[in-house]
Chains A and B, each alone.
Chain A
Amino acid sequence: MYQDPGALSYLIQLLIAGFLATVFWCKWVRQKIIQFFRRKKNQPPDDEQ
């Protein structure tokens, strides 16, 4: 039974997609930052090289 979706339905989906993409991007950035600091912590200090 096909129902007219309405413009609001499209707007909500775009907002949800944008929100989820933002959350995903923030998680990705956070993961990269954690990986960077872990690598730096595991690197030996300069005077031991």
Chain B
Amino acid sequence: MTNNKFHLLEKLGGSFRDPSGFMFKCQGELFRQVNWLSRDDYDLLMNSGLYAKLIDAGLLIPHAEVNSSYLQDKIAYKILKPILIPFVSYPYEWSFSQLKDAALTTLKIQRHALDYGMSLKDASGFNVQFWQGKPILIDTLSFERYRKGMPWVAYRQFCQFFLAPLALISYNNFSLSRLLLSSIDGIPLDLASDLLPWRTWYKLGIFLNLHLPKLMHRWLSENSIAAYIRNPEKRFSENSFQGLLDNLQGTIENLKWSPKSSRWSDYAASDLHSPAYGDHKKNTLKKFLDMVRPLSVWDLGAGTGVYSRMCASQGIFTVSGDADPLCVERNYLECKDSLEKNILPLLIDLTNPSPALGWMNLERFSLIERGPADMIVALALVHHLSISNNLPFDKIAGFLHRCSQRVVIEFVPKHDPQVQKLLSCREDIFTDYNQIGFEREFSSFFKIIESVQLDDSPRILYFMEAIR
């Protein structure tokens, strides 16, 4: 380590909006710079007891202060080294309950902050990550000194990032949460108000926090509103603040989403496959995991996470992705009930994975940019990509190759009942969909280490390693 270590720093593309500081990489490690501008707030966070309280409660990402005597940057006050989150995920990839828990965590943190004379200055969904199975605040510089009488500066952001999408899912349709993809600052409240059904006007919390802003905006201009609020800091007591937080908490706790079933939610429990097939598949997967001992696995097309739990039981951090929102929801709720720390259930549609977003497409990473994984597990998936989505084998192999150097993949032949079901309502145009074609196309990217014919099934499980 030279005396000028930090002159090699590489600022993260998305870390520029907050003048309090920014994230950067240096020699492969992640750091956070605290600028002199936020010295007082940072010192108050550390010395008031709030930091210790939040760490004890598991609500804030821990960090260590690094020797910053090498700093070249004159605006830098301190350098922090936070604990690394194994996989960064975004609110548009979360299930309903994940988003709800993230919202309630943000409110809990705000309550604790008030007890120590501080307040959150932003309540973005991107400030929360899932670590060891629970939502946690990762932006240590989100805190500012609480100014008595001042309303919550992050209130609108909280409503846009959490309340609006949760209400839209609960009262309308889960697909509306994808609006978070196109609105990087959260779903605009007037849009949410327009999309919510009329019965939400009778729900007090939804009316006050989502419909009322739209009405006020329609009746009053921004100038006249500003004229009413000449001295906001003299009118909003701490009791009012607590009341607002109570109202938001109660509103969010009352939001529910529990559809009875979806296309894939009961797939694992169905009796389509014999126990012998299931056991052989689990044992073979375990054997492949033992061969490699990966640190991280992406289980793609995970369903409700049956095989993800197998990976996690080996101590492997597993991203458990599926395109069915109810599967991801059930997976998360089961992880929560069992206090599972090694699984991160996420909404991942492989035919349209999360893109890079934000300024110059640098603020939020695409799914592929957040790799590579040590290993990918793609069980009972390839026939859905090929047959239902017309994806040729070489495209699938190319995508998996970009995501990982090792793949465990299950080939489902055409005479399998599931494939026959997919072909029952469409013309069979898949002349290359066979084992020879599969192995030929995948061999351009991977070397087949081992293949196993599964018991009581025509399906074959492959373990492959990248050749280039």
Binding site for B on A (CB under 8 A): 1-3, 5-17, 19-21, 24
* Mask: chain B, 231-244; 1 = CB below 8 Å from A; 0 = not: 01001110011011
CB atoms of B226 and A17 under 8 A apart? no
Q: A residues within 8 A CB of B220?
A: 8
Number of interface residues of B (CB under 8 A): 37
CB atoms of A9 and B151 under 8 A apart? yes
Any A CB within 8 A of the CB of B153: yes
Which listed residue, B124, B222, B244, B246, touches A8 by the CB 8 Å rule? B222
Given A2-B17, A12-B216, A21-B243, are A7 and B124 neighbors across the interface (CB < 8 Å)? no
Any A CB within 8 A of the CB of B73: no
CB atoms of B236 and A8 under 8 A apart? no
Which residues of chain B in 222-280 are interfacial with respect to chain A, using CB atoms and an 8 Å cutoff?
222, 225-226, 228-229, 232, 235-237, 240-241, 243-244, 246-247
Min distance, Cβ A15 to any Cβ of chain B, angstroms = 7
**Stretch from B26-34, B104-112, B206-214, B292-300 at the A interface:** B206-214
Any A CB within 8 A of the CB of B152: yes
Can you name 5 extra interface pairs (CB under 8 A) apart from A7-B228, A10-B232, A12-B216? A3-B124, A5-B155, A8-B225, A11-B229, A14-B229
Q: B residues within 8 A CB of A8?
A: 156, 213, 216-217, 220, 222, 225
Q: B residues within 8 A CB of A16?
A: 208-209, 212, 243-244, 247
Min distance, Cβ A28 to any Cβ of chain B, angstroms = 13
Given A8-B213, A10-B229, A19-B208, are A3 and B155 neighbors across the interface (CB < 8 Å)? no
Binding site for A on B (CB under 8 A): 17-18, 121-122, 124, 126-127, 151-157, 185, 208-209, 212-213, 216-217, 220, 222, 225-226, 228-229, 232, 235-237, 240-241, 243-244, 246-247
Q: B residues within 8 A CB of A11?
A: 216, 225, 228-229
CB atoms of A13 and B152 under 8 A apart? yes
CB atoms of B155 and A17 under 8 A apart? no
CB atoms of A13 and B225 under 8 A apart? no
Q: B residues within 8 A CB of A21?
A: 240, 243
CB atoms of A7 and B151 under 8 A apart? no
How many residue pairs, one in A and one in B, have C-beta atoms under 8 Å apart? 91
* Closest residue of B by beta carbon distance from A17: B240
11 A-B pairs with C-beta separation under 8 A = A1-B124, A3-B124, A6-B222, A10-B232, A10-B236, A14-B232, A15-B212, A15-B216, A16-B212, A19-B208, A21-B243
Tell me the bound Cα distance from A11 to B228 in angstroms.
8
Min distance, Cβ A21 to any Cβ of chain B, angstroms = 7
Tell me the bound Cα distance from A13 to B208 in angstroms.
9
Tell me the bound Cα distance from A1 to B155 in angstroms.
13
Which listed residue, B17, B153, B217, B236, touches A1 by the CB 8 Å rule? B17
DSSP majority for the A interface? helix
Q: A residues within 8 A CB of B244?
A: 13, 16-17, 20
Min distance, Cβ B151 to any Cβ of chain A, angstroms = 4
Min distance, Cβ A23 to any Cβ of chain B, angstroms = 9
Tell me the bound Cα distance from A16 to B217 in angstroms.
15
* Closest residue of A by beta carbon distance from B358: A1
CB atoms of B229 and A7 under 8 A apart? yes
Tell me the bound Cα distance from A19 to B240 in angstroms.
10
Q: B residues within 8 A CB of A7?
A: 222, 225-226, 228-229
CB atoms of A10 and B124 under 8 A apart? no
Given A5-B154, A6-B222, are A17 and B236 neighbors across the interface (CB < 8 Å)? yes
Q: A residues within 8 A CB of B17?
A: 1-2
CB atoms of A20 and B247 under 8 A apart? yes
Which listed residue, A1, A9, A20, touches B156 by the CB 8 Å rule? A9
Min distance, Cβ A3 to any Cβ of chain B, angstroms = 5
Q: A residues within 8 A CB of B225?
A: 7-8, 11
* Closest residue of A by beta carbon distance from B363: A1
Tell me the bound Cα distance from A11 to B247 in angstroms.
16
Q: A residues within 8 A CB of B216?
A: 8, 11-12, 15
Tell me the bound Cα distance from A12 to B246 in angstroms.
15
CB atoms of A3 and B222 under 8 A apart? no
CB atoms of B229 and A12 under 8 A apart? no
* Closest residue of B by beta carbon distance from A12: B213
* Closest residue of B by beta carbon distance from A20: B243
Min distance, Cβ B113 to any Cβ of chain A, angstroms = 15
* Closest residue of B by beta carbon distance from A13: B151
CB atoms of A3 and B185 under 8 A apart? yes
Q: B residues within 8 A CB of A20?
A: 240, 243-244, 246-247
Min distance, Cβ B263 to any Cβ of chain A, angstroms = 36
CB atoms of B247 and A13 under 8 A apart? no
CB atoms of A14 and B154 under 8 A apart? no
Tell me the bound Cα distance from A8 to B151 in angstroms.
11
Q: B residues within 8 A CB of A1?
A: 17-18, 122, 124, 126-127, 185
